[in-house]
Amino acid sequence: MSIVEQPLTTIAEPLYARMTDTTKALVVQELQQTLGKAHVLHTPYDVALYEYDASIERARPDIVVLPSNNQEVAAIVKIASRYQVPVVPRGAGTGLSGGAIPVYGGIVIAFARMNRILSIDYDNLRATVEPGVVNIHLSQAINPHGYAYIPDPSSQRSCTIGGNVGENAGGPHTLIYGVTTNHVLGLEIVTPEGEIVEIGGETYDMPGYDLTGLLIGSEGTLCIVTKIIVRIVPVAEAVKTMIAVFDVMEDASNTVSEIIATGVIPAAIEMMDQMILQAVEADTHAGYPMDAAAVLLMETEGLRESVDAQLEQIVAICEKNHARVVRIAADEAERQLLWAGRKNAFGAVGRISPEFYVQDGVVPRTQLPYVLHCISDICQRYNLKVGNVFHAGDGNLHPLILFDAQVPGEIERVRLAGHEILEICAAVGGSITGEHGVGIEKQAEMALIFSEADLRIMQQVRTAWNPQQLFNPGKLFPLPGRCAEMRQL
């Protein structure tokens, strides 16, 4: 049974009418009294910037507010509840699944002003930040003292930690250390009733239900996060970064599986195919070979002796699987350049295509060769070009489907290709998302991996936390209209 034929969950998603001019005027007036006129945007020109994120979805908010503290967030929520207006939290707008898109208009809460690192406790290995703190800014603040914050999405120079919490973001270095949920100890949240509540705390393994784990990755549908307590870790004694160059994609994929199977878990294993390598090298000049079928960018860290031992094992496995060459970064400058190439890969693709659609499926590592072959076949069938750059160590694929929205019918073909890719990921025992979230993009595909009962239970959780469903409505769960769109495609 295809996804578009599967029955929808029985809990209906409410449909919100756009605010009338009269209601909008009243809401704007109350918000301005709370925040000041400068921090309440409501003209079509002013709110246009907030109608999109890094996905291909679009919807314009009625109002955008920029609070400076938790009390203002609570006041905003109370106003929205009184007028039954949807509320959508937004970090930096770098999300790739439409999570910050205001489907029904309403109020977008942008956290650009709540961007302070509130405290750093090196003795107890934790820091407290506001949701608008840019991911890399925390590591830049603590690196000189010998510490780091592990989750490092490719967009870490612009994405916010609040957004990372909403999507449970990962990154190249979460292979061995885990994703955002493994590095958050506690949250301060605002409930749909406008109450400020603390969840979790500053110590590990708090008693009671793991509400912190529930809220991380809930994509703004359960609460609004206003403060985050995160784990920080000492910087490793030794770090070695290397690239392995392959003339056959399957050899690179088999290398990944064999490395993990031997019990060697590097800090990162990233893969880039030829199309991505050519774009990256033209953009960054990091020294990647442009004629290779694939390159693995790998990093191992820890005690100096263990790093050297792991390095030897990894090199041997690469050579066994026909690596053309394995090159170890000579110094920190070369290491940073190699990583700059990987982190800038999405942006570099702009050199070869006006737009791209990135997917986020996850597959067992042993299925990488098969799934990559399927992705190529799917895109050829739809007459689309595709490049692959992804977290190979944990099987988190990021195929970038290139397109031009100005070409009639192309965006529809892109959506269909993306859907088929996720069908393949689910069919081999994987998932429809590894770190980008469901948002709007993958609502219909939720039925690929969850049963009717699964979806109903999850929606009951949402209803318990968010009974009026004013927090980020129209996200996560299959909608009849969304499935109808898939049928039409």
Strands (E), 314-458: 325-328, 355-358, 385-391, 399-403
Number of other residues whose CB lies within 10 A of the CB of residue 237? 12
pLDDT (tens digit, 9 = 90+) per residue, 77-100?
999 999 999 999 999 999 999 999
Number of other residues whose CB lies within 10 A of the CB of residue 463? 12
Q: Domains of the chain by range and CATH?
A: 3-112+454-488 (3.30.43.10), 117-234 (3.30.465.10), 238-348 (3.30.70.2190), 353-441 (3.30.70.2740)
Query: Which pair of tokens denotes residue 84?
Result: 């039954």
Tell me the CA end-to-end span of the chain in Å, nearest whole number: 17
Residue 125, pLDDT score:
97
As a whole number, mean pLDDT of residues 267-296 equals 95
**Strands 385-391 and 196-200, how do they pair?**
unpaired
Task: Report the predicted TM-score, pTM, of the whole model to 2 decimal places.
Answer: 0.92
pLDDT (tens digit, 9 = 90+) per residue, 455-481?
999 999 999 999 999 999 999 999 865
Residue 6, pLDDT score:
41
CA-CA distance, 435 to 432, in Å (whole number)?
Answer: 10
Beta strands across the sheet bearing 117-121: 117-121, 126-129, 224-231, 184-190, 196-200
As a whole number, mean pLDDT of residues 440-449 equals 95
pLDDT (tens digit, 9 = 90+) per residue, 391-428?
999 999 999 999 999 999 999 999 999 999 999 999 99
pLDDT band at 18 (very low <50, low <70, confident <90, very high): confident
Burial of 27 (0-12, 13-18, 19+ CB in 10 A): buried
Lowest mean pLDDT across 15-24, 251-260, 456-465: 15-24
Q: Write the CA distances from 136 to 45, 158, 333, 460, 479, integer angstroms.
A: 31, 8, 18, 36, 36
pLDDT band at 15 (very low <50, low <70, confident <90, very high): low
As a whole number, mean pLDDT of residues 16-26 equals 90
As a whole number, mean pLDDT of residues 296-309 equals 95
CA-CA distance, 218 to 464, in Å (whole number)?
Answer: 13
CA dihedral in degrees (207, 208, 212, 213; nearest 10)?
100
Q: Three-state DSSP class for 87? A: strand
Residue-wise burial string across 437-451, b where 16 or more C-beta atoms lie within 10 A, e elsewhere = bbbbbbbbbbbbbbe
CA-CA distance, 174 to 267, in Å (whole number)?
Answer: 7
As a whole number, mean pLDDT of residues 353-373 equals 95
CA-CA distance, 118 to 224, in Å (whole number)?
Answer: 18
Task: Please identify which residue in the block is written with the tokens 């060697």.
Answer: 264
CA-CA distance, 61 to 52, in Å (whole number)?
Answer: 10
